[in-house]
Amino acid sequence: MDEMQTRLAGGLETVGTGDLFYARGRTLQIKAFKGEIASFTESDNQWVSARAIADARLGTAYTEEFDERSIAEVAVRARENARFGGQDPGNTLHSSGELGEFDGRRGSLDTVTVDGKKEMTLAAERSAKACDPRIVNVPYCYYAESDGSHAIVSSHGLNKAQLTSSCMCFVMVMARDGDETQTGAEFAVASDPSGLDAEEAARTAARRAIEKLGAREIDSGEYRVVLENLAASELLGAFVASSGSPFYGETIQKGKSMLAGKLGTKIGSDLFTVIDDPARGLHPAFFDGDGVATRRLALVERGTFATVVHNVYSSAREEGARTTGHASRGRERVGTGLHGPYLENGDGGLDRLLAEMGSGILITEVEGLHAGLNTVTGDFSLAAKGFMVEGGSKGYAVRNVVVAGNFFDLASRIVAKAGDVREDTRGGFDAPSVMIERVSVSGR
């Protein structure tokens, strides 16, 4: 990490007042198809982003080269671009001169050889096909790993760097019974490949496809609903952790958040506690894109809106606000982003939650998240898949279902939670299975 930071620091001589951010990522992917290794790909990319600030004007530039000359040149371009930027009180830097080197790797990607990773991928495909004769295809079965580093230096003396790594497998299967076809999928994520159970992921994917066969249509109406942990994570995360999250200071300042002026007020049920923990999961974040040290933060506490999420830019534009350490860094801009957000866990398993519900619908999948929701108003209308619940037990699968509502209403109607939040942080948000008192469902 020393060389990475030293090269960046050399560019500070030409950037003036500003900072330089470096990111590098290596990925490896192995895909199996029909009993053979269908592809083996490896990529390695890096970039340096420079920000220069003069008279509250911001200039940016980036390069994908990481030699001393290129770093100096991108710093000069950023300084020159600052002359053409508009003045904005948010154009400022983190004023600290903190130093730090952080190793966020939870394991080693070398615990399994490349040949071993190939065999792991092939074994997962075999396991999926062996589960049931109705499994007719495994269109996606792959192992992937990534390791990377990023660093930031600034004219205020800031100098930090971090390493990360993780691996995962993904399996999607197709099951067919007569003219009906269903799919099932599962991820597994680990700190190193020796802890990755790819065959169990394959069996889970197969089970999910098989149990959806024989799906029936249901009547439209308002139902009690349990969102299984994956569906709850995706639906709630599409609002909480999106680029236009209503919890972000930038979103509020742009007039695009229903939470404007609601800090300290009730926005959800007592069971709605949302935490962002940068130390959680396989990709810990020790500092953000501004170089600010991260910390555990409650966005919502027992249903009360507790914290507006800020980066340096948005906090500088609001009197009395301070950055919460949530800057996300890209090649040309700095935005806002959460690190390890999740809905606080409940108790017991999914079966307990279904028994408590008695009758209703278990939603296991939601579709169309990018097109079927509005992060400004909180409204959503999404195709869904799941099962009828009768007598507290999962019954037949349902099809052609659309769930509709509003995120804030949903948060207020959470009446129970299971204790099954996943700790592998495979997505941008994690939640346990939750029971919603009332949800509008369109069927036949």
What pLDDT tens digit does each residue of the chain (444 aa) get?
677 778 888 888 888 899 999 999 999 999 999 999 999 999 999 999 999 999 999 999 999 999 999 999 999 999 999 999 999 999 999 999 999 999 999 999 999 999 999 999 999 999 999 999 999 999 999 999 999 999 999 999 999 999 999 999 999 999 999 999 999 999 999 999 999 999 999 999 999 999 999 999 999 999 999 999 999 999 999 999 999 999 999 999 999 999 999 999 999 999 999 999 999 888 899 999 999 999 999 999 999 999 999 999 999 999 999 999 999 999 989 999 999 999 999 999 999 999 999 999 999 999 988 888 999 999 999 999 999 999 999 999 999 999 999 999 999 999 999 999 987 666 689 999 999 999 999 998
| Residue labelled with tokens 């999914």 | 350
Instruction: Please give the structure tokens belonging to residue 434.
Output: 């939750």
What does the alpha-carbon distance between residue 255 and residue 242 come to, in Å, rounded to a whole number? 16
Instruction: Give pLDDT, residue 425.
Output: 63
CATH number of the structural domain 2-211: 3.30.2290.10
> In which residue ranges of the chain is CATH 3.30.2290.10 found?
2-211
**Closest listed residue to residue 199, CA positions, set 108, 111, 130, 113:** 130
Instruction: Give pLDDT, residue 426.
Output: 63
Instruction: Give pLDDT, residue 94.
Output: 96
The pTM of this model reads 0.94
**Closest listed residue to residue 175, CA positions, set 184, 162, 188:** 184
Dihedral sign, Cα of residue 128, residue 34, residue 386, residue 187: positive
Instruction: Give pLDDT, residue 174.
Output: 98
239 Cβ neighbours under 8 A, 6+ residues apart: 245, 246, 373, 375, 378, 407
